[in-house]
Every structure is written in C-alpha cells, then in structure tokens.
Amino acid sequence: MKSMPRAGVVDSTTATVLLTVAVWGSAFAAVRVGLTGYSPESLALLRFLTASLVLAGYAVVKRMPMPRLGDLPGLVGLGFVGLTASNLLVNAGEQSTPAGSASLIVASAPIFTLVLARLFLKERVPRSAWLGVGACFAGVVLICLKPGTGLQLAPGSLLLLLGAVTSAVYSVGQKVFLSRYSPMQVAAFAFWFGTLFLLIFTPDLLHQMPQARLPATWAALYLGVVPGALGYLGWGIIFSRMPASRAGSFLFLVPLFAILIAWLFLGEQPGFQSLVGGVLVLLGTALIQR
C-alpha cells in the first residue's frame, strides 16, 4: 500500500521533467523567430511581461500569499540573476548562434549547478558524476568552437556560457526558497522582480512592436506563457523533489528537443562537430544520473 504513492510521485516527476525540457527546448527556436522583430532587450521584456501577467492572474485567483519581508532581497537577486541577466545574455548570444548550437551551449548549466550545489548546498557528488561533468564540458567546448579556427570561440558563445552560469545560480538559489514557498510562488516572485529590471527597455519595446512582424510577436508571447511561466514552474517542481545536483543534469536533455525543433521549423541542420559534442554531453548526463 505504501509503494503506490511513491510510484505516483516517480511517474509525475518523470512527466514533469519531460514536459519541462521539451518546452525549454522549443524556446531556442522561438527566440530566433522573436529576434527577427525585436532586439534582445525588447524580446526579453515582452516575454517577461507576458509571463508575469499569467502568473499574476493565477496569484489573484488562488489568493497566493506574498513573500516574507526578510526574503525580499534574496528573491529580488534571484529574479535579476536567474531571469533578467540570463535571458538577456541568451537572447544576445542567439543573434549569431544557431538555435540548436545555442541550446547545447546553454545546456552546460548543469556543470555549474553541480559545482554550486556541492559548494553551497553541501550535496554529496560521487566520482562518476565528476566524470560526467568532464565529458559534458568537453562536449560543450566542441560545440562552442568554430570549425577551422582552432581555439577561437564562435560569436555569441561566451554570452551563452555566461547565461548558463546565471541559470545555474538561479537553480541552486531557488532551492533555498523552495523549503518555504511552493514552486509556483518562487516562479512568480522571480518573474515579477526580474521584469522590474527590464522596464527600462519599455520605450524600445513600444517603438518596435508596431513594426514587428506577427510571427515575431507570437513567438514572444509563446516564450512568456509556455517556456516562461510553465517551464519555470516545472523546473521548481523538479528541484523541490530531488537534489539540485541531480535535477540540474536534466538540462542536458534540452538540446535534443531544441535541435529537433530547429531542424523541423527553422531548417537548421547540426554540423558534425556539434553532433560529436552532443554525444559527449549525453554520455556525461548518463554518468551524472547514475
């Protein structure tokens, strides 16, 4: 009798993982479409405004309590680093990087998540996981390098790597607040505070919106509702059910969906070097999960 709830939790967690990585994988193609009509800053603002309104509607209907006064500085910092800075960096990096390759670079976030979880959350990390980190890092390096240029980084790769770092900070940072708030609350607070920092780009957004093509605007709205509000909610649920070092490694699965979607909808075919790097990333993920 006691094993049935446990099986239900496992099944729901697996479904949440698959859904979250799938919608986050679709975000890279949507960003590429959104950038055809908006600057990286305006796209991030429109995306965050959309997600914030969706989460605000939920908060009103459910009468969601507001955060404690003492938690405000940490939640503000979480929103700025994990959403404002992360999205601006990824949007800017994708201007010169194909969606599939960008997803693989950003998927290096679990490497930094694992290190931060070990340093700040004191989570035990077995040796096999560190071997997985090494394999993933080697794969990411292959993906970041431009073919035929030696150790020269491709344009936008450094910005995308910095975006991965800020994403890892958010993932580990939210673990602290998930002990006091629900995943929906953490996602809502992070989006609301993250949006405040982007309001300085409101004049640019108002100038670009009337001139933007409809697909770019639809892509921005999609980014706010699906990979935004729903994706970050799913991410919070995953982190509330397992250690950060293990949960973070699921981000390595995002490129599988990102490359497939970019190939189907944008016609972007991954190169051989990126494929080899992707195989290393997947092997590393398997080691981390073990």
pLDDT at 287: 76
pLDDT at 1: 41
pLDDT at 112: 86
pLDDT at 155: 67
Residues of the chain with pLDDT under 70: 1-11, 100, 143-155, 270, 289-290
Axis crossing angle, helix 214-223 with helix 40-62, rounded to the nearest 10: 50
pLDDT at 214: 95
pLDDT at 282: 76
pLDDT at 21: 87
Spans of all domains in the chain: 3-103+155-269
